[in-house]
Amino acid sequence: MNFSITVNGIKKTVEADPETPVLWVLRDNLRLTGTKYGCGVASCGACTVYINGEPTRSCQVPIEDAEGATITTIEGARGRVAQSVQQAWEELSVVQCGYCQSGQIMSAISLLSRNPRPDEADINDYMWGNACRCATYQRIRAAVQRASEILES
Amino acid sequence: MVSEISRRSFLKVGAAASSLVLGLGADVLSAKEHSDAEFTPFVRISVDGTVTVIVRHFECGQGTATGLSTLVAEELNFPLAEIRMEFAPAAADVYGRNGFMATGGSGSMRDAYIHYRSAGAAAREMLISAAARSWQVSPENVNLNNGVLSSIGKSAPMGRFVVEATQFPVPAKPQLKSSEAFTQIGNPEIGRIDNKEKVTGAAKYAMDMHLDDQVTAVILRSPRFGGKLTSFDVANVVDNPDFLRAHALPNGDGVAVFAKSTWAAFQARDLIIAEWDFSKAENRSSDEMRADLLSAVNSDPEYHAKGSIAGTASALENATQIIEQEFYFPHLAHAPMEPLTCTLARTETGVILYDGCQTPSGAQAVLSRMLQLEPKQIKIETLFAGGSFGRRANTGADYHREVAMAFLLFGGETPVKLVWSREDDIKGGYYRPAVAHKVRMGLDGTGRIVGWDHRVSGRAIFKGSFLERRMVRDGIDLGSVEGITDTPYSIPGHYVGVTDERSPITVNWWRSVGHSHTAYVMESMMDMAAAAAGQDPVSYRLSYLMGDSPDQKRLASVLRLVAQKSDWDGQVPEGRSRGVAIHKSFHTYVAEVVEISGNANDGVKIERITCAVDCGVPVNPNVIEAQMEGGIGFGIGHIMRDEITFTNGEVDQFNFPDYEPLRINDIGAIDTFIVPSVEPPTGVGEPGTPPAGPALANAIAATGVRVSHLPMSTNGVEFV
């Protein structure tokens, strides 16, 4: 079946089984590989994208439910918040293997868009679902707070 | 020991028309034997001034790409941030160590420290010589900084002299900078080289490969280790137009399922019905495995690894006090964030493997045998690896073997991308083996150790592996006893006995290998001894590290540092408890203090962790700190709540919900302190892991509960 979605501002038509998760449509059909497969069961957050503005585990949304949706992936992350987050992530060398970091960054942008000055507990609560096997967590906490500072300046 | 340039080795220059390529030559003999591998280019400088460092190891997050590039950057006086890096091609004769190209043992920096600096220093000297000749000045009067050559009244970008520089002989012994002159090595402001692509989603991993005409293969494997396929049926796979076909693997290990997309392959596989022969499979449950291991450590050992069993027995007879403790460690999966995957495609001259490749030599050997090609016909493009923790390297080269079988089954022409799901990964073996320990320790009337009888039983990791010659001695697998037999502590009456366990369950090295369990036992026992002696755990440990050996001095020094930085002698805040542990692994000394609140019954919260590390010259302090943070997190997360268990031979866990990774709210801040050092640099990828678990266990013990069977969460400890 054909589905229409708008990805990073560009309208796309994709042919896929209706049950195919958005994750695999992005990766296999559209070759947008910044969004990662980590678990397929919404347990790691590596596949986090925005669907109609909401941070979403793309492994859980069948393409048929995303018909007509607007999707933003890490490749399309733009704006002041996104820039601040990516800058902070670079300043603090948060990444190690880096595989989960697209999802971490998408979640962090979303957190700061809702709460520009999160404290440690806010960050822990919001970022809980994004697993990092390299355990870069304390740098993630620090980078979210650094991004918040950059945003305020 | 630092690798020196051997007499039979020499720096060589490769003069491509538009670049200066420098590396450390293979030795004379192998250079003759491999005429097309005349030098090992570590650094390439182009006429436009671009500096590219060729990294001979893979990058799974441990920071080696940053580290090796920093060495070149330092000697070339060129900013790391402007350096490009690329992964070396698979060529063991030029990039390998002892003819084998691989990454492991936290050894990349230890091996590269002189090699990569020499390449950078030689390039610097040759560029300076070229400029000096052109400007008719003495080389001493030419400087190279930030890519610019300058002398009195003259300056030019270094790219302009690249072609001329290649005409100069390569300095046999380039002058390395003195450590006082370092501006990048040891500079905590220097960040990682791969930040940009990893924060924008641009970094390319093997999972991101997509060749236009590829098919995706997933493997339906036996639910029990050692099971063999007897039949399978695809009749249920309907309404899946992207499913292509399925074939039995020739070795009976499963069914290769081919589809046009990853999702279609997963869906098709779920509907295939397979029958298995379990007659030679592991059919036990975890309880039986644990009972078997504990029985082994309560019996006569198969091997004597250290000391005299009789001597220790008689020392224990004279002890005033005996402390006896069993320990049990479950199987653990590595579960790197990127599940295993690689792509194999035909080329005009052979094949190419796209992989986050930890063992290019292993992959080449397996692929050349299976595809009947010469190793050099197997090209490998190494991509970023989404973690490994040891999983991507194993002697059977399991996923390379699978991709080769799948490639051949599909006809041997179509590119095949092999993909593992997370479930495949959790259930797929190559685990840190389950291990049991039993220690009987005797103390005299003053609390001093008089004897230590230590029995271990688990699967031998190195037996049968490509590291067997180095890691198995007189039948004793060092993976079972490292960290015990070579403990820096002066332990009188120390006996170590080992019994190998046997099972079809595949096992493998897992971040810090044997140290992942031996440190837990050693450091729990030292704490129990200190408590029994009524002494402070730090000073008690120090009393066994009073000798003059570098091992004892360096381990004592990280212990003193962590005690100072954690305010060990100060008042412990109300409701808090602390535990300490120290361990040497991979030539690196680490001490950690874990501070918790709460207790085992009401819930433990890990509040803060202090870490001190001595890894020789700290090349990239930022990376060292990151590896301590990550190593601690990895170690402590598994010790808190992870285990792979079996019911009638089948793995009980399936994915992250029941093999729960450490989460952001699980641990507080980790503060790492690096001991200044001029000793040769050692590794940091693994050594942060071993002390984390026992430091936590010792903190919990301070609240009254000694946890000796893991994971903690199923053995009486609640975490909040």
Asked if B194's CB is within 8 angstroms of A95's CB, the reply is yes
Distance CA B623, CA B197 (A): 17
Rg (CA), chain B: 27
Answer whether A75 sits within 8 Å of B60, measured CB to CB: no
**Which residues of chain B have a CB within 8 Å of the CB of A144?**
none
**What are the CA-CA distances from residue B82 to residues B88, B123, B191, B199 (Å)?**
19, 17, 12, 17
Task: Encode pLDDT of B444-487 as tens digits.
Answer: 999 999 999 999 999 999 999 989 999 999 999 999 999 999 99
Task: List chain B residues with CB under 8 Å of A141.
Answer: 664
Structure tokens that stand for B621 in this block: 């302090």
Beta-bridge partner residues of B257: B218, B246
| pLDDT > 70 fraction of chain B, expressed in percent and rounded | 95
> In this complex, do B242 and A135 lie within 8 Å of one another by their Cβ atoms?
no
Which tokens belong to B313? Answer: 């027995």
Residue holding tokens 């381990």?
Answer: B555
DSSP code at position B329: E
pLDDT of B5? 36
The CA distance from A14 to B319, in Å, is 76
The reply to whether B177 and B318 lie within a common domain is: no
Q: What is the pLDDT of residue B19?
A: 66
CB contact under 8 A, A33 and B204: yes
Residue B424 lies in a domain: no
Pairwise CB contact (< 8 Å): A24 & B262: yes
Mean pLDDT of B379-397: 96
Tell me the three state secondary structure of residue A118. coil
Return the closest-CA partner of residue B440 out of B427, B425, B451, B428. Answer: B451
Q: Is B242 exposed, middle or buried (0-12, 13-18, 19+ CB in 10 A)?
A: buried
Residue B97 domain-assigned? yes
Q: How many angstroms separate the CA atoms of B616 and B676, rounded?
A: 8
A90 contacts B623? CB cut-off 8 A: no
CA distance, residue A84 to nearest chain B CA (Å) = 11
Chain B contact set for A145 (CB, 8 A): none
Distance (Å, whole) CA A29 – CA B331: 38
Does residue B6 sit within a domain?
no
At B466, which CATH number?
A: 3.30.365.10
Residues 460-499 of B with CB under 8 A from A: none
End-to-end CA distance of chain A: 48
Instruction: Select from A36, A43, A128 the Cβ nearest to the Cβ of B664.
Output: A128
Mapped to the 3 state alphabet, what secondary structure does B480-542 carry? Answer: HHCCCCCCCCCCCCEEEEEEEECCCCCECCCCCCCHHHHHHHHHHHHHHHHHHHCCCHHHHHH
Tell whether B215 lies on the interface with A, counting CB pairs under 8 A.
no
The predicted model gives B663-678 an average pLDDT of 97
Give the Cα separation of B587 and B683 in Å (integer).
Answer: 7
B238 has a chain A CB within 8 A of its CB: no
Are B91 and B235 within one domain?
A: no
Query: What does the pLDDT look like over A46-103, one tens digit per residue?
Result: 999 999 999 999 999 999 999 999 999 999 999 999 999 999 999 999 999 999 999 9
pLDDT in tens, B533-573: 999 999 999 999 999 999 999 999 999 999 999 999 999 99
Burial of A57: CB neighbours in 10 Å, binned 0-12, 13-18, 19+? buried
CB contact (8 A) between residue A98 and residue B386: yes
For residues B113 and B192, membership in a common domain is answered with yes
Tell me the shortest Cα–Cα distance from A36 to chain B, in angstroms. 8
Least-confidence region, from B167-181, B321-335, B363-377, B522-536: B167-181
Helix, strand, coil proportions of chain B in percent (round to 5)?
A: 30, 25, 40
Max CA separation in chain A (angstroms) = 48
Q: How many domains does chain B have?
A: 3
Q: Which helix (H) or strand (E) holds B606?
A: strand B603-614
What average pLDDT does range B510-514 have in this prediction? 98
C-alpha distances in Å from residue B70, one per residue of B222, B317, B364, B544, B623: 45, 56, 29, 38, 11
In a domain? residue B663: yes
Angle between helices B398-409 and B360-371 (to 10 degrees): 30
Are B664 and A86 in contact (CB < 8 Å)? no
Which domains are present in chain A?
Answer: 2-76 (3.10.20.30), 80-152 (1.10.150.120)
Structure tokens given for A12: 């796309």
Closest CB to A98 among B384, B422, B630: B384
Model confidence at B169, pLDDT cuts 50, 70, 90, reads confident
Strand partners of residue B440: B324, B453
Whether the per-residue pLDDT at B113 is higher than 80: the answer is: yes
Mutate to test the interface with B, among A32, A58, A60, A93 (most CBs of B within 10 A): A93
Counted residue by residue, chain B has a size of 720
Is the Cβ pair B337, A40 closer than 8 Å?
A: no
Residue that terminates a domain, selected from B419, B447, B466: B419
pLDDT above 90: residue B98: no
Per-residue pLDDT, B166: 82
Chain A residue numbers touching B267 (CB-CB < 8 A): 17
Which pLDDT band, with edges at 50, 70 and 90, does B588 fall under? very high
Q: Are residues B655 and B543 in the same domain?
A: yes
The answer to whether the complex's ipTM is over 0.95 is yes
For residue range B21-53, list pLDDT tens digits in order. Answer: 765 443 322 222 222 223 347 888 988 899 999
pTM: 0.95
Residues B180 and B230 in one domain: no
- Rounded CA-CA distance A89/A105 in Å is 8
Tens digits of per-residue pLDDT, A5-45? 999 999 999 999 999 999 999 999 999 999 999 999 999 99
As beta bridge partners, residue B200 has none
Amino acid at B127: L
Nearest to A99 among B199, B386, B662 (CB): B386
The predicted pLDDT at position B94 comes to: 81
| CA atoms in the 13 A half-sphere facing the CB of B319 | 27
Q: What is the pLDDT of residue B23?
A: 59
Domain with B566 in it: 286-332+431-714
State how far the Cα of B74 lies from the Cα of B97, in Å rounded to an integer: 24
In eight-state DSSP terms, residue B656 is G
Residues of A in contact with B387 (CB under 8 A): 96-97, 99, 133-134
Q: For residue B557, count CB atoms less than 10 angstroms from its CB and return exposed for 0-12, middle for 13-18, buried for 19 or more.
A: middle
**Average of pLDDT values for B71-86?**
96
Spatial CA neighbour of B2 closest among B92, B98, B107, B73? B107
pLDDT value at B103 more than 50? yes
3-class secondary-structure state, position B388: coil
CA B118, B122, B125: angle at the middle one, nearest 5? 140
Inter-residue contact B20 to B127 (CB < 8 Å): yes
The pLDDT value given to residue B168? 85
Dihedral Cα B466, B467, B470, B473, nearest 10 deg:
-90
Give the rounded distance of the alpha carbon of B644 from its chain centre.
20
**Chain-wide mean pLDDT for chain B?**
93
- Chain A residues near residue B667 by CB distance under 8 angstroms: 137-138
CA dist B430 and B6 (Å) reads 37
Candidates A43, A74, A92; nearest CB to B657: A43
Which amino acid is residue B193, in one-letter code? Answer: I
Q: Which residues of A touch B662 (CB under 8 A)?
A: 131, 135, 137
Q: Are residues B55 and B154 in the same domain?
A: yes
**Distance between CA B297 and CA B434 in Å, rounded?**
13
d(CA B491, CA B24): 43
Q: Report d(CA B569, CA B536) in Å as an integer.
A: 9
Q: Model confidence at B18, in pLDDT bands (50, 70, 90)?
A: low
Residues of chain A contacting residue B192, judged by C-beta atoms under 8 Å apart = 93, 95
Q: What is the pLDDT of residue B26?
A: 36
Chain A: give the shortest CA distance to residue B581, in Å: 20
On whether both B213 and B251 belong to a single domain, the answer is yes
CB contact under 8 A, A131 and B661: yes
Task: Give residue for tokens 């950059």.
Answer: A150
CA distance B27 to B662: 46
CA distances from B445 to B145, B190, B325, B528, B575 (A): 65, 53, 20, 15, 33
- Largest Cα span, chain B: 83
Residue pair B479/B318 in contact (Cβ under 8 Å)? The answer is no
**H helix or E strand, kind and range, residue A113:** helix A101-114
Q: Which of B180, B258, B173, B184 is nearest to B215 (CA)?
A: B258
Are residues B245 and B309 located together in one domain of the fold?
A: no
CA distances from B462 to B209, B487, B639 (A): 32, 20, 23
In a domain, B74, yes or no: yes
Q: Do B527 and B616 share a domain, yes or no?
A: yes
In-domain check, residue B189? yes
| In a shared domain, residues B476 and B595 | yes
Cβ atoms of residues B619 and B186 within 8 Å: yes
Name the helix (H) or strand (E) containing B453. strand B449-459
Residue B238 lies in a domain: yes
Question: Does residue B41 belong to the interface with chain A, where contact is any CB pair within 8 Å?
Answer: no
Q: Coil, helix or strand for B22?
A: strand
- Tell me if B680 sits within 8 A of B1, measured CB to CB: yes
B685: Cα within 13 Å, side-chain hemisphere: 27
DSSP B594: E
Q: How many C-beta atoms surround the C-beta of residue B178 within 10 A?
A: 7
Contact B599, B719 (CB under 8 A): no
Preferred mutation among B59, B60, B198 to probe A, highest tally of A CBs within 10 A: B198
B349 with B439, same domain: the answer is no
Cβ within 8 Å, pair B661-A124: no
CA end-to-end distance (rounded Å), chain B = 44
Q: Identify the domain boundary among B166, B198, B230.
A: B198
Q: What is the spatial distance between Cα B538 and Cα B542, in angstroms, rounded to a whole number?
A: 6
Hey, which residues 45-74 in chain A have their CB within 8 Å of chain B? Answer: 46, 73-74
The answer to whether residue B661 neighbours chain A at the CB level (below 8 Å) is: yes
HSE of B155, CA atoms in CB hemisphere, 13 A? 8
- Residue B58 at interface with chain A, using a CB cutoff of 8 Å: no
- How far is the C-alpha of B458 from the C-alpha of B328, rounded, in Å? 10
Give yes or no for a contact between B301 and B308, defined as CB atoms under 8 angstroms apart.
no
Residue B524 sits in the same domain as residue B609 = yes
* Cα–Cα distance for residue pair B597/B595, rounded to 1 Å: 7
Question: B389 vs A127: CB contact, 8 Å cut-off?
Answer: no
For residue B8, pLDDT over 80 is answered with no
CB atoms closer than 10 angstroms to residue B626? 30
Residues 15-34 of chain A whose Cβ lies under 8 A from any Cβ of chain B: 17, 20-21, 24, 27-29, 31, 33-34
**Last residue in a domain, options B148, B179, B198:** B198
The pLDDT assigned to B28 comes to 27
User: How many other C-beta atoms are found inside a 10 Å radius of the C-beta of residue B432?
Assistant: 29
Three-state DSSP class for B414?
A: coil
The rounded distance, in Å, linking the Cα atoms of A35 and A75 is: 8
Please list, in sequence order, all residues whose beta carbon lies within 8 angstroms of the beta carbon of residue B453, skipping any fewer than 6 positions away.
B309, B312, B313, B316, B439, B440, B441, B495, B497
Is residue B720 assigned to a domain?
no
With a CB-CB cutoff of 8 Å, which residues 670-689 of chain B face chain A? 670
Q: Would you state the pLDDT for residue B271?
A: 98
